């Protein structure tokens, strides 16, 4: 697909647009000052305020040298994000693909690294799809309860530990405050008008009650999502044409969730908090885009329940901040594919369940103004059961594993130095201790070998520097090493390698950036370089079995531009170019092993995003979002053979959202997704996407 001329024009406009802001006659809000605050002042920051990360630290016990981007509740509402995944897409260096369209788990690629390398946290607890081979995360949650989404890129080993090999996606829910407030929203859509469907087939509903009373605060509610409009696209240009002799089945997704967050300010220095999340969903799925692969009765059922409680205390006149919390996460996913018509037996029945317990103890100590020490202990354990039955070709095959629990015990130390104004230096390390079970088979006899408990000890570290000059130009750089042991799912699922031990993964990352403010801090321009290398990369091989690859590495550049509102207009835009993206694997030929290069899949080399927003007197809001994703390589399954590699066309997505506050209590809104009706929007083994998708809805705020 050639880049449309309108895109070229918009690209030039978006990067020249800030030049006009300096002539604004109305008062213009400047970027928030990000001066080095004490923990006491930082604690007063509001997650709902617009924050553009600079080189100076915004809050205590955070890494001010890390490459990071954030989206807050106000920005999510302006662009009428349908899901949390929609809000994440606008961040620089992020490409969101998926198991399916709205309502399904999605793959989050950060600077070319996949979801399995990105730690996804909701209120500080890791959340993931327990049965996704490549670490898909459920980003389909309603954004109505989201206060802020922050993305930290590159390895984050010290403050976040195992799993944060390529970054951390930190999703924080809202705290209740002020008088009791009830909010609700309901919207409906036609998922794909370009498929000659004009009757709404998608519904999204949410409700929330929040507030505070003296020392107690609370926020709770739920959401419901349903769609019947998902189906495999019936053709893709130059890849497959007219494969279906009849209209593909419209698969469905039904999803419900409940949440609660409440706390008590015991006194001026101590707070106790409780968080609850519950989700349940059922999704019909297809096996692939080939002829006859629109499976009519295969579905996934996912359930999760999270409980977290903890305390936040200030000691010794707020010199020492101590946080302690415990969490329990129960998750289960079932994959059922009963017998199709004309078959004697079913294909597959599988279930994976896990229970995760975590305990975290974190201390932030500021003995003098120019130094902060962050230290803590993390303990976690995961129990899991896996049960698989495969009746393919009339053959019964059962694997039933109940391994000993995985255990991790980590200790970390992070030092933050501020020797002069606007300069931050930090260095830290973490000792990761992991204990996990191996259950392998003998290659020659297929008999079970004695279970073995592995002990893995990994030292990780990070070091960084950030400085803002008197001319409001900032510099920052960071280098880190992270590590991750094979997960319970990778060792005991039906994708496990029963004959060979998986080695732990390690990653090294470097990124550096230059930031420049213009026009009295009304404009921020940032340009940065990043490099990341990962060893013993764990991925599925051609047989669908987990194995260690030799190495994967990415080099790239990022350019971002932000402006504050003038005359109601504001802009966020970013461009990412991954100019080297290569995977190396070990192949065997005539008894000898060689390191062979292979292109990485699903990673676009070029991506661009821009959001232009206009707000008139806090009543009318118009948002235009432009997303460009370049060509990328991918696998096609089942047609004409399994699998084969294709090059997928680039695509351009244009979304338009508008809302109007009719009354202090009532807001109406509408959104049109994929206005250009791009067929290549969701290609490959995922569901065919919506074409032009209009939404209309109503919000109440009482």
- Residues of the chain short of pLDDT 50, as ranges, are 1-60, 99-103, 233-246, 288-292, 393, 638-641, 682-688
Q: Are 140 and 96 in contact (CB under 8 A)?
A: no
Does some domain include residue 243?
no
Q: What is the CATH number of the domain that holds 29?
A: 2.40.170.20
> Would 584 be classed as within a structural domain?
yes
3-class secondary structure, 23: coil
Region of 639 (left: φ > 0; alpha: ψ -120 to 50; beta: rest) is: beta
Domain assignment of residue 242, yes or no: no
**What is the C-alpha to C-alpha distance for residues 680 and 632, in angstroms, rounded to an integer?**
11
Cβ atoms within 10 Å, residue 198: 9
pLDDT of residue 390: 63
Parallel, antiparallel or unpaired: strands 118-122 and 167-173 = parallel
Cα four-point dihedral sign 36, 38, 41, 45 = positive
How far, CA to CA in Å, does 174 sit from each of 72, 449, 457?
Answer: 11, 50, 37
Q: What are phi and psi of 408, to 5 degrees?
A: -130, 145
Token digits of residue 551 = 């190495």
CA distance 261 to 598: 46
Domain assignment present for 484: yes
Tell me the three-class secondary structure of 641-652, residue by residue: CCCEEEEECCEE
Cα-based angle 616, 621, 627 (whole degrees, multiple of 5): 130
Query: How many other C-beta atoms lie within 10 A of the C-beta of residue 687?
Result: 23
DSSP 566-585: ETTEEEEEEEEEEEEEEEEE
Nearest Cα neighbor of 207 from 187, 189, 228, 183 is 183
Q: Count of domains in the chain?
A: 1
Place of tokens 């996606």: 169
Q: At CA 389, angle to CA 292 and CA 347, rounded to 5? A: 15
User: In this structure, are strands 423-438 and 452-468 parallel, antiparallel, or unpaired?
Assistant: antiparallel
Of 261, 272, 351, 255, the C-alpha closest to 306 is: 261
Query: Has residue 236 been placed in a domain?
Result: no
Q: How far are the Cα atoms of 96, 155, 157, 170, 464 from residue 66, in angstroms, in the given order?
A: 22, 9, 12, 14, 8
Domain that holds residue 23: 5-231+250-449+458-701
- pTM of this prediction? 0.85
Q: Per the domain annotation, does 216 fall within a domain?
A: yes
How much is the pLDDT for 227? 82
* Residue of 327, 287, 272 lying closest to 305 (CA atoms): 327
Chain center to CA of 236? 28
User: Domain for residue 244, yes or no?
Assistant: no
What gap in Å lies between CA 168 and CA 596, rounded to an integer?
30
In a domain, 237, yes or no: no
- The closest of 167, 61, 117 to 412, measured between CA atoms, is 61
Judge residue 548's burial from the number of C-beta atoms within 10 Å of its C-beta, 0-12 exposed, 13-18 middle, 19 or more buried: buried
- Look at residue 46 in the predicted model and tell me its pLDDT: 40
**Per-residue confidence (pLDDT) for residue 117, from 0 to 100:** 87
Quote the CA–CA distance of 133 and 541 in Å, as a whole number. Answer: 11
The confidence score (pLDDT) of residue 259 equals 93
pLDDT at residue 201, rounded to an integer: 82
């Amino acid at each position: 697909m050639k880049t449309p001329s309108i895109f070229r024009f918009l690209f030039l406009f978006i990067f020249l647009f800030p030049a006009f802001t300096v002539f604004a006659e109305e008062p213009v809000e400047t970027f928030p000052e990000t001066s080095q605050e004490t923990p006491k002042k930082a604690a007063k920051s509001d997650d709902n305020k617009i924050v553009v990360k600079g080189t100076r630290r915004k809050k205590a016990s955070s890494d001010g040298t890390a490459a990071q981007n954030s989206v807050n509740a106000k920005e999510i509402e302006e662009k009428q994000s349908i899901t949390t995944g929609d809000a994440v897409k606008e961040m620089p260096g992020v490409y969101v693909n998926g198991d399916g369209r709205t309502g399904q788990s999605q793959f989050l690629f950060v600077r070319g690294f996949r979801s399995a390398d990105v730690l996804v946290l909701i209120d500080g607890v890791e959340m993931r799809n327990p049965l996704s081979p490549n670490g898909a995360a459920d980003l389909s949650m309603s954004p109505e309860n989201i206060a802020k989404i922050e993305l930290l890129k590159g390895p984050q080993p010290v403050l976040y530990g195992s799993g944060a090999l390529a970054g951390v996606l930190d999703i924080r829910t809202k705290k209740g405050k002020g008088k009791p407030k009830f909010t609700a929203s309901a919207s409906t859509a036609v998922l794909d008008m370009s498929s000659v469907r004009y009757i709404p087939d998608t519904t999204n509903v949410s409700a929330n009650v929040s507030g505070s009373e003296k020392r107690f605060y609370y926020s709770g509610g739920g959401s419901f999502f349903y769609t019947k409009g998902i189906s495999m696209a019936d053709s893709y240009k130059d890849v497959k044409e007219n494969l279906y002799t009849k209209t593909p089945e419209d698969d469905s997704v039904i999803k419900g969730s409940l949440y609660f967050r409440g706390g008590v300010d015991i006194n001026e220095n101590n707070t106790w908090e409780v968080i609850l999340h519950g989700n349940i969903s059922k999704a019909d799925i297809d096996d692939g885009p080939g002829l006859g692969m629109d499976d009519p009765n295969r579905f996934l059922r996912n359930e999760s329940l999270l409980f977290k409680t903890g305390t936040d205390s200030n000691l010794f006149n707020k010199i020492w901040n101590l946080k302690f919390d415990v969490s329990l996460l129960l998750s289960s996913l079932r994959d059922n594919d009963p017998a199709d018509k004309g078959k004697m037996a079913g294909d597959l029945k599988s279930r994976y369940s896990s229970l995760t317990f975590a305990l975290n103890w974190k201390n932030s100590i500021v003995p003098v103004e120019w130094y902060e020490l962050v230290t803590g202990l993390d303990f976690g354990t995961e129990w899991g059961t896996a049960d698989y039955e495969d009746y393919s070709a009339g053959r019964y095959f059962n694997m039933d594993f109940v391994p000993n629990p995985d255990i991790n015990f980590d200790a970390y130390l992070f030092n933050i130095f501020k020797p002069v104004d606007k300069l931050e230096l930090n260095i830290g390390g973490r000792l990761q201790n992991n204990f996990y079970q191996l259950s392998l088979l003998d290659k020659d006899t297929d008999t079970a070998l004695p279970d073995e408990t592995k002990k893995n000890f990994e030292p990780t570290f990070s070091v960084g520097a950030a400085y803002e000059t008197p001319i409001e130009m900032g510099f920052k750089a960071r280098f880190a090493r992270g590590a991750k042991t094979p997960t319970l799912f990778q060792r005991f699922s039906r994708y496990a390698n029963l004959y060979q031990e998986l080695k732990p993964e390690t990653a090294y990352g470097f990124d550096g950036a230059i930031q420049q403010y213009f026009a009295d801090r009304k404009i921020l321009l940032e340009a940065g370089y990043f490099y990341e290398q990962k060893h013993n990369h764990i991925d599925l091989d051609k047989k669908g079995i987990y194995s260690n690859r030799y190495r994967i590495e990415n080099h790239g550049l990022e350019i971002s531009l932000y402006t504050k509102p003038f005359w109601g207009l504001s802009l966020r835009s970013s461009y990412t170019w991954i100019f080297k993206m290569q995977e190396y694997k070990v192949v065997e030929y005539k008894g000898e092993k060689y390191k062979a290069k292979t292109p990485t899949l699903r990673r676009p080399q070029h991506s661009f995003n821009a959001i232009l927003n206009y707000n008139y007197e806090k009543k009318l809001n118009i948002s235009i979002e432009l997303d460009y994703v370049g060509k990328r390589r991918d696998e096609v399954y089942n047609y004409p053979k399994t699998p084969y590699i294709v090059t997928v066309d680039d695509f351009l997505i244009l979304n338009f959202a508008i809302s109007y506050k009719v009354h202090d209590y009532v807001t109406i809104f509408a959104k049109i997704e994929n206005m250009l009706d791009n067929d290549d929007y969701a290609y490959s083994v995922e569901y065919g996407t919506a074409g032009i998708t209009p939404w209309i809805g109503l919000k109440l705020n009482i």
